[in-house]
Structure 1
Amino acid sequence: MPQNCPCGSSKPFAQCCDLYLSGKSYPNTAEALMRSRYTAFTTSNLAWLRQTWHPDTCPELSAEDLTTDWQRLEVVKAKQGLKKSIVEFRAWFNDGEHERALHEISLFKLYKKRWVYVEALPQWP
C-alpha cells in the first residue's frame, strides 16, 4: 500500500508532494506550497526549501536545521489571493519528551510567477 503524504492530505506521497519535491510540477496555491514545504522539512529536502523561499528572506540553511522530528500538519485556515496569500497552520513535532506544536501564520507571495514563502506574520491580518 502506498505511503500517505506527510502533509496530511491523505493522498499517496507519489501523487501529492512528491510531484513538487521531485520537480515534476509546481504548486499552484499557497496552501499546496506550504504543505510541500512541510513535507520538505520532514524529508530533509533543502533544495526545495531554498527554491520555495523568497530570496529576500531566505536564511542560510544546512542539514542541521532539518533535525526536528515532525509528526503531523494541521492547516487551520488559508486565504488565497492573486498576488499574496496567507496560510495558518500547526506543525506538530516531538521534542524528545513531549509532543509540541509550531503555530504560524505564513505570508506567501508570487515571485517570478510562482508562490514562495516570505515570512511568518505576528497575527492574522
Structure 2
Amino acid sequence: MSKSKSPACPCGGPALSSCCGPYIDGAALPETAEKLMRSRYTAYTLGNEAYLQATWHASTRPAEPVIGQEEKLQWLGLEVKSALRLRKRKAENEDFVEFVARFRVNGRGQRLHEVSRFLREPSPEGPRWYYVDGTFPE
C-alpha cells in the first residue's frame, strides 16, 4: 500500500498542493500579503523565476533574473514574525510582513530578516497582491 501524499510546503504549510502550490501554478491568487510572501519564499526554494517576476510590482521589478543558477543555494526554513497591517492600521491595499528566511550559500549558513512591503491592485482576475520592496531591521 503506497501513500501518494503531497510533500510539505517549503513555507512551513502542511502540503505544497494545498498551501502555496495553487498560487504558484496560477490556479488561485493569494488573498493576503502574508500568503503572497509565503508563496514567493516557496518559489525561491523551487527556483521558479517566472512566479517571482509575475508577483513583483512593476515599479520595482528587476530587469535581471533574481535567481542565480550558478549559485549553490539551499533554503532551510521560513519564520513569519508578523503581518503588520492590523497593528499599523495601514490602508487596505498596502501591507507589511516581517520574516526571517534561513538559507545556505556554498555551504555557509545565512539568514535574511526583512520587512516586506506589498501593494494590492486590481487585475482582471480580481484584487492581486504584489511585492514592492523591503527593509532590513538588523
TM-score (norm 1): 0.88
The alignment-based identity, stated in percent, is 39
Partner of 2:96: 86
State how far apart, in whole Å, the 2-side matches of 1:23 and 1:16 are: 13
State how far apart, in whole Å, the 1-side matches of 2:29 and 2:68 are: 24
> C-alpha deviations, 1:89-117, integer Å up to 9, x for none?
01100123332211100000112221100
Letter aligned with residue 70 of structure 1: W
Which residue, 51, 65, 69 being the options, matches 2:68?
65
The correspondence of residues 1-40 of structure 1 with structure 2, limited to 5 A, is 1-9=5-13, 11-40=14-43
State how far apart, in whole Å, the 2-side matches of 1:63 and 1:86 are: 21
CA contact (8 A) 2:120 2:129 kept: yes
The offset of 1:122, in angstroms, is 5.0
| SS across alignment from 1:105 | strand
State how far apart, in whole Å, the 2-side matches of 1:52 and 1:23 are: 11
Alignment length (residue pairs) = 122
Q: Mark the structure with the bigger radius of gyration.
A: 2
What RMSD over aligned residues (CA atoms) do the two structures have, in Å?
A: 1.7
Q: Unaligned 5+ residue runs, structure 1? A: none
State how far apart, in whole Å, the 2-side matches of 1:76 and 1:52 are: 21
- The yes-or-no answer on 1:49 pairing with 2:52 is yes
State how far apart, in whole Å, the 2-side matches of 1:103 and 1:19 are: 26
The offset of 1:63, in angstroms, is 6.9
Partner of 1:75: 80
The correspondence of residues 84-123 of structure 1 with structure 2, limited to 5 A, is 84-112=94-122, 113-123=127-137
TM-score (norm 2): 0.81
State how far apart, in whole Å, the 2-side matches of 1:63 and 1:79 are: 26
| SS across alignment from 1:7 | coil
| SS across alignment from 1:76 | strand
CA contact (8 A) 2:49 2:67 kept: no
CA contact (8 A) 1:20 1:36 kept: yes
